[in-house]
Amino acid sequence: MDNSRKDKMIAIGSDHGGYELKQAIMKHLEERNLAYKDYGCYNEASVDYPEYGKIVANAVADGTCDRGILICGTGIGISITANKVKGIRAALCTDCFMAEATRQHNDANILALGGRVVGVGLALKIVDTFLDTEFSDEERHIRRINMIEE
């Protein structure tokens, strides 16, 4: 599904462990009138999370999308995969403090969630916090982010 109504594009993807939460997040993004591209998976059949981690990470890294949201059972495997792609800073968050801090300090460009870890209500608040928080732009944070890529 391609729900592209606004200029800021969000790439979203999951494996089967994150499928149900992905559906809830896409509904939430639609309610907020935020544009997204759904990179799968498209049902609850068992799939391999690296496939979806890579496709979403590449969409963010090559500029097709501005931000990404990735979900697997724990959020761990899919975030490890995404972080292998140059330019990607995927942050696995289990609360809003982490989502806010990773935007402000790490300029994280992908949010990773565990569909078997966080409930839907909390997950949607984490998504909102991640999408609505800007990078601090402070010199020390820019320096540290640059050091990641060195």
Which residues are identified as catalytic?
72, 105
Options 32-40, 72-80, 103-111, 125-133: segment touching ligand RB5 (CB under 6 A): 72-80
Binding span for ligand RB5 by CB under 6 A among 31-39, 70-78, 96-104, 125-133? 70-78
Sort 115 into a burial class: Cβ within 10 Å, 0-12 / 13-18 / 19+: buried
Binds ligand RB5 (CB under 6 A): choice among 10, 25, 61, 72: 72
Under 8 Å between Cβ of 8 and 104: no
Report the residue number, 35 or 80, with the smaller CB distance to ligand RB5: 80
Given the structure tokens 């990641």, which residue do they identify? 148
Query: Under the criterion CB under 6 A, does residue 15 sit at the interface with ligand RB5?
Result: yes
Residue 74 binds ligand RB5 (CB under 6 A): yes
* CA-CA-CA-CA torsion sign (132, 138, 141, 145): positive
**What are the Cα distances from residue 141, in Å, to 22, 33, 119, 138, 145?**
30, 31, 31, 5, 6
- Closest CB 139 distance from ligand RB5, rounded Å: 35
Residues making contact with ligand RB5 (CB under 6 A):
15, 17, 49, 72-74, 76-77
